[in-house]
């Protein structure tokens, strides 16, 4: 039934991808699993499904889900000002050419979800460099945001979409609202109830070797280079990045997707809000995803409109992890890979269409 998915994965292998693991579930049971390659650099341990990966931006759906559980409890409104909860964001500035001016509008919490708050993804900004220096390289999540707020925004909040640190700020907001670290709250609310025992936002040094080998693709030489198992976007030892800091396995992450498919994590009205396009044409969105019929909801790609061929929601990670939650066709897919800058990044977007076609055949 999923021959075209196998063909796509074989193409990945043909491009030299060192390893991958792909799982598809339909009607609550696994109907497809394909693994390829080795979990170690020495190529002595074949992939067996237990591997942990830096999932990078596949962290984002977990973070927005955690935040939305607090929304459902009435702890914030989507259109509340961020500064009502985190005062350091009250008087933001915007870089305008060679000058810096006051922002014309205030950041709202909805804009954190939708990547329209005006932040960048510059992890070496003056504010974040100061955070590392002031905290001795620890960078606790909530404390780090006080330094991020010193950096000028790229644009006035709400005016356009920009992939950024918005969901890292959202993780800090969770800490403000709960009085817990972000990792503690996610563990209590999502990971433990779903028995995601191998998933975390902080991993002890002694467990680094439990991660699969990680590579960086060198486009000039078309080779896959060992870049170490540590995450590539970590500000400090205590920093729990809501946008890119999660470590997980295929077996764990599919539990998260299945819980969403079954509506066990959020109320239906919240799910509708999360998976409804929030962006205007003026705000823009990624051209590749737009071409597949996607818009952007509360932290996930989602159908652009009622006429869109896309029906799933999901996202992807920098090392090529990819998730699909298709509640219309009652299926989920999770694909794990560990290659930064991989040449098959955009090809992952073929997966949802392959699933729809196969399930309707």
> Tell me, what's the pLDDT at 251?
97
Q: Is residue 163 a contact partner of residue 315, using CB atoms and an 8 Å limit?
A: no
Calpha distance 121→166 (Å, rounded)? 9
Long-range Cβ pairs for the range 301-306 (8 Å, 24+): 302/274, 302/275, 302/276, 302/277, 303/275, 303/277, 304/277, 305/277
Domain with CATH 3.40.710.10 in the chain: 3-58+184-360
Report phi then psi at 253, rounded to 5: -65, -35
Which is nearest to 322 in space by CA: 120, 68, 23?
A: 23
Calpha distance 49→20 (Å, rounded)? 9
> Tell me, what's the pLDDT at 234?
82
Q: Is residue 26 a contact partner of residue 343, using CB atoms and an 8 Å limit?
A: no
Q: How is residue 309 annotated by DSSP?
A: S
> Tell me, what's the pLDDT at 361?
61
> Tell me, what's the pLDDT at 320?
97
Calpha distance 220→222 (Å, rounded)? 6
Size (the chain), residues: 361
Q: Record the pTM.
A: 0.97
Cα dist from 236 to 133, 140, 215, whole Å: 10, 7, 21
- CATH code linked to domain 3-58+184-360: 3.40.710.10
Per-residue pLDDT of the chain (361 residues; tens, 9 = 90+): 899 999 999 999 999 999 999 999 999 999 999 999 999 999 999 999 999 999 999 999 999 999 999 999 999 999 999 999 999 999 999 999 999 999 999 999 999 999 999 999 999 999 999 999 999 999 999 999 999 999 999 999 999 999 999 999 999 999 999 999 999 999 999 999 999 999 999 988 888 989 999 999 999 999 999 999 998 778 999 999 999 999 999 999 999 999 999 999 999 999 999 999 999 999 999 889 999 999 999 999 999 999 999 999 999 999 999 999 999 999 999 999 999 999 999 999 999 999 999 988 6
């Amino acid at each position: 039934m999923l021959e075209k998915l196998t063909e796509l994965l074989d193409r990945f292998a043909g491009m030299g991808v060192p390893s991958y693991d792909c799982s598809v579930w339909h009607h609550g049971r696994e109907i497809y699993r394909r693994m390829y390659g080795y979990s170690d650099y020495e190529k002595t341990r074949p992939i067996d499904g237990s591997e942990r990966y830096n999932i990078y931006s596949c962290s984002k759906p977990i973070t927005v889900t955690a935040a939305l559980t607090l929304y459902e409890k009435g702890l914030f409104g989507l259109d509340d000002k961020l500064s009502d909860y985190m005062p350091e964001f009250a008087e933001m500035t915007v870089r305008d050419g060679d000058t810096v001016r006051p922002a014309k509008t205030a950041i709202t919490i909805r804009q954190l979800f939708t990547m329209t708050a005006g932040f960048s993804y510059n992890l070496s900004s003056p504010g974040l460099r100061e955070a590392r220096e002031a905290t001795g390289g620890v960078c606790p999540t909530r404390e780090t945001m006080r330094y991020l707020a010193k950096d000028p925004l790229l644009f006035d909040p709400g005016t356009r979409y920009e992939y950024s640190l918005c969901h890292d700020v959202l993780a800090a907001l969770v800490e403000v609202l709960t009085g817990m670290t972000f990792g503690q709250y996610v563990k209590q609310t999502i990971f433990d109830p779903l028995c995601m025992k191998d998933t975390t936002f902080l991993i002890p040094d002694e467990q680094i070797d439990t991660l699969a080998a990680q590579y960086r693709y060198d486009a000039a030489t078309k080779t896959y280079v060992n870049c170490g198992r540590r995450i590539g976007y970590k500000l400090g030892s205590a920093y729990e990045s809501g946008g890119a800091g999660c470590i997980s396995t295929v077996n764990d992450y599919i539990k998260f997707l299945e819980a969403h498919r079954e509506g066990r994590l959020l109320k239906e009205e919240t799910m509708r809000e999360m998976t409804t396009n929030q962006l205007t044409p003026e705000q823009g969105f990624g051209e590749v995803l737009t071409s597949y019929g996607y818009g952007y909801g509360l932290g996930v790609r989602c159908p652009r409109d009622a006429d869109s061929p896309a029906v799933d929601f999901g996202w992807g990670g920098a090392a090529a992890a990819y998730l699909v939650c298709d509640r219309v066709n009652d299926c989920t897919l999770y694909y794990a890979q560990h290659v930064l800058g991989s040449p098959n990044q955009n090809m992952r977007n073929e997966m949802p269409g392959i699933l729809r076609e196969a399930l309707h055949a």
